[in-house]
Structure 1
């Protein structure tokens, strides 16, 4: 399965979003959060992200889903085209769509496409 790492400025946000995604996609979905700094503060940590990637790497590719700003820049440092891809998607909706797709056994390109489709999800109808 494709592994998914949620990169957030807050450890709590990353962990709870990963838990929500696993709750919807299935407990075995390879989704983990990498949030906050090494000392538990707000920010991002390259080391935490690298450890998270290793923990969900099953050899089928990896998707990084950052929340905003600096997490995007940090995640970009770890991308490897065709192996570790950065998804520019809404954080929660993209995480869930990617997790469901990954849990179904979709290949990396399809997991990225499912996450990107989250941009079309509407919460209310109309303009």
Structure 2
């Protein structure tokens, strides 16, 4: 595994949902190939919501020097991430809010990162998941 690898953070309003999607993405990516991935789910008090502290800690924990792709579930999580990015010093350098469907995008991001994709490739693969058809 390269020292510089894209990390992935999944932000959900529910800690259980974030953790479950992490496990599903890792499983569908053949164990995740050692991709650093973390859940940042729920509010700091354990309830529903989003927490800047949990997101910042998750991003720091997966930072391996090649960027951090952050996928979020719902609108206020987007606002929380945009606020963190605007502050500029709460997240690792190279952290990106990725516009992608939460579940499918997470799987695509982890698969691409496990194949050695850079942050641009991880972001593109996750965003491409918007086009996945189910019929």
With the length of structure 2 as denominator, give the TM-score of the two structures.
0.87
Instruction: Tell me whether 1:15 sits opposite 2:26 in the alignment.
Output: no
Contact 1:18 1:33 in 2 (8 A): yes
Say yes or no: does 1:57 pair with 2:68.
no
Q: Count residues in correspondence.
A: 123
Decide which of 37, 43, 47 is 2:43's aligned counterpart. 37
Q: Provide the secondary structure at the position in 1 that maps to 2:38.
A: strand
Kindly indicate whether the alpha-carbon contact (under 8 Å) linking 1:7 and 1:75 is maintained by their aligned counterparts in 2.
no
Name the SS for the 1:39 alignment partner. Answer: coil
Structure 2 Cα separation of the partners of residues 4 and 36 of structure 1? 17
Partner Cα separation in structure 1 for residue 44 and residue 97 of structure 2:
22
The alignment yields a C-alpha RMSD, in angstroms, of: 1.2
Residues 1:116 and 2:127 are matched in the alignment: yes
1:87 matched to 2:98: yes
Q: How many angstroms does 1:31 deviate by? A: 1.5
2:109 is matched with: 98
Deviation at residue 59 of structure 1 after TM alignment: 0.5
Residue 118 of structure 2 corresponds to 107
Q: TM-score, normalised by structure 1?
A: 0.92
Deviation of 1:4 (Å): 0.6
SS in 1 for 2:84: coil
- Please list the CA deviations of residues 2-53 of structure 1 after superposition, one character each: whole Å capped at 9, or x if unmatched: 0010010000000000111111222422111101011110000000000000
Q: Shift of residue 78 of structure 1?
A: 2.8
Distance 1:65 1:7 in 2: 6
Residue 69 in structure 1 maps to residue 75 in structure 2: yes
